[in-house]
């Protein structure tokens, strides 16, 4: 009798197959997007800068870290304003749509970046993912990883624009606080270009966390700069006119 039962069981398995374990869907980056921040302002203070190390990332990075203080403003969808001061000179840059407006020493200029997505600044600079920050990218979940004692989800970003696809960005995201823990930029040849680390997250409004200290290292591991952020103002209703011109 037992033999007959075993035969019947084997026949059933051959006919219907072995039940498989349920497949768990990979996490989506949308679960780490912060949709609660509609506008934001914060004050940045440069604590440390190594211009030689920053130049290995790019001249623009070295120039950006000459400013001792900077006021950052953001409003969805994807509007940013940076007003920096260095040696008595005010430098203003506004990102709005496909245009970057710049003003320094009374000289104003406008640059079109519709075919240069790599030139677009987003809220990734500030340590969080706004919905508009992903407009130029495709995303892929890679793995879970603990970094700086934080359980992270790691995502790979690549530009949608074909001639920029070889460049990738890795985001290490804290899905609980919806903040970045680390961001790595890679060159087309796969070598590391820069690593940004987002530290000391603070709850700046109910349920809204933002990093208060950001460090940048070049691909050789050399410290390029340290910036601290404070005086956060969230969802105050910033006017669109703030982002029209530099």
Ordered per-residue pLDDT tens for the chain, 246 residues: 434 333 444 444 344 444 554 557 889 999 999 999 999 999 999 999 999 999 999 988 888 888 899 999 999 999 999 999 877 788 999 999 999 999 998 899 999 999 998 889 999 999 999 999 999 999 999 999 999 999 999 999 999 999 899 999 999 999 999 999 999 999 999 999 999 999 999 999 999 999 999 999 999 999 999 999 999 999 999 999 999 987
Is the backbone peptide bond immediately before 191 cis, with ω within 30 degrees of 0?
Answer: no
Q: Is the pTM of this model over 0.75?
A: yes
Domain ranges for the chain, please list them: 27-235
Task: Give the burial string for 136-172 (b: 16+ CB within 10 Å, else e).
Answer: bbeeeeeeeeeeeebebbbbbbbbeeeebeebbbbbb
Q: In the beta sheet, which residues pair with residue 183?
A: 171, 196
Rounded-to-5 percentages of helix, strand, coil across the chain: 20, 45, 35
Task: Say which CATH class 27-235 falls into.
Answer: mainly beta
């Amino acid at each position: 009798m037992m033999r007959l039962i075993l035969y019947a069981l084997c026949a059933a398995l051959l006919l219907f197959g072995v039940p498989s374990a349920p497949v768990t869907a990979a996490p989506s980056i949308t679960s780490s997007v912060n949709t609660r921040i509609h506008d934001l302002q914060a004050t940045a203070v440069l604590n440390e800068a190594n211009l030689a190390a920053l130049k290995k990332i790019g001249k623009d990075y070295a120039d950006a870290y000459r400013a001792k203080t900077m006021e950052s403003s953001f409003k969805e969808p994807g509007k940013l304003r940076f007003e920096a001061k260095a040696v008595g000179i005010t430098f203003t840059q506004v990102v709005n749509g496909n245009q970057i407006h710049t003003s320094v020493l009374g000289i104003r200029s406008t640059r079109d970046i519709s075919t240069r997505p790599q030139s677009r600044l987003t809220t990734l600079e500030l340590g969080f993912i706004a919905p508009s920050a992903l407009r130029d990218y495709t995303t892929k979940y890679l793995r879970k990883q603990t970094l700086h004692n934080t359980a992270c989800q790691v995502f790979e970003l690549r530009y949608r624009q074909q001639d920029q696809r070889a460049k990738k960005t890795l985001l290490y995201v804290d899905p609980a606080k919806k903040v970045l823990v680390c961001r790595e930029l890679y060159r087309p040849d796969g070598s590391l270009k820069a690593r940004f680390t987002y530290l000391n997250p603070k709850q700046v409004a109910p349920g809204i966390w933002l990093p208060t200290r950001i460090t940048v290292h070049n691909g050789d591991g050399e410290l390029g700069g340290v910036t601290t952020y404070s005086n956060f103002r969230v969802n105050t209703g910033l006017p669109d006119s703030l982002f029209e011109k530099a």
